[in-house]
């Protein structure tokens, strides 16, 4: 698959959500009917700002990775299309929120986190803090584990004291 076309080489097209249909095909892939009537099979949906402005700007690509355009806000799609977009993005941008840190073990440069999330207990590994942890403000943290799963600490200051100390020592 090609890398998405850069904005410098091709202007971004804003897609009218009221004239766009997004559906699952019979194989579970995404098909999009664009405002000009063109139907694109095996479309790919990507959030432009998945952390700071979820669902606000959704970029559509064809199966070859060519950008089709951007839907500015999915709330203007018809209800079925909006649900298909939400379900597709939820699969791609799975995010668990860390509610407490039970323990962290660091062996040979690999930190193993034992946490409680909004989806239950989880254990994950971080191999490189510099490439796995992002501060998204004074107290909000995004963590990407060795398997590509994403975890969020929405507000470090609101964790219990033990969780906060453990997290601060390892991020």
Please state the pTM of the whole predicted model. Answer: 0.56
Tokens of 51: 């952390």
Residue 118, classified by CB atoms within 10 Å of its CB into exposed (0-12), middle (13-18) or buried (19+), is exposed
**Over the stretch 106-137, which tens digit does the pLDDT of each residue have?**
998 899 999 999 989 999 999 888 889 999 88
Is the pLDDT confidence value at 162 over 80?
Answer: yes
CB 60 within 8 A of CB 69: yes
Q: According to the model, what pLDDT value does residue 30 have?
A: 94
Residue 61: enclosing H or E segment and its boundaries?
strand 58-61
Q: What DSSP line would sit under 70-122, residue for residue? A: EES-GGGS-HHHHHHHHHHHHHHT-EEEEEEEEEEEEETTEEEEEEEETTEEE
Quick one: pLDDT band at residue 21, thresholds 50, 70, 90? very high
Rounded Cα–Cα distance for residues 131 and 117 (Å): 22
Tokens of 158: 């609101």
Closest CA to 97 of 150, 163, 165: 150
**Over the stretch 32-63, which tens digit does the pLDDT of each residue have?**
999 999 999 999 998 887 666 677 789 999 98
Q: Which residues pair with 100 in a beta bridge?
A: 116
Quick one: pLDDT band at residue 27, thresholds 50, 70, 90? confident
**Over the stretch 71-111, which tens digit does the pLDDT of each residue have?**
999 999 999 999 999 988 877 766 899 999 999 999 988 99
């Amino acid at each position: 698959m090609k890398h998405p076309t850069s904005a410098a080489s091709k202007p971004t097209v804003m897609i009218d959500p009221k004239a766009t249909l997004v559906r699952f095909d019979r194989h579970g892939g995404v098909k999009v009917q664009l405002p000009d009537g063109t139907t694109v099979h095996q479309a790919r949906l990507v959030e432009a700002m998945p952390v700071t402005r979820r669902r606000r700007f959704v970029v559509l690509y064809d199966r070859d990775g060519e950008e089709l355009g951007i839907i500015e806000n999915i709330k203007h799609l018809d209800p079925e299309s909006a649900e298909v977009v939400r379900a597709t993005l939820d699969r791609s941008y799975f995010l668990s929120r860390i509610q407490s840190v039970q323990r962290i073990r660091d062996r040979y440069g690999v930190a193993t986190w034992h946490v409680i999330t909004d989806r239950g207990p989880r254990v994950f590994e971080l191999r490189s803090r510099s490439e796995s942890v992002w501060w998204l403000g004074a107290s909000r943290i995004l963590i990407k584990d060795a398997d590509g799963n994403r975890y969020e600490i929405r507000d470090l200051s609101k964790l219990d004291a033990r969780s906060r100390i453990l997290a601060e020592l390892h991020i």
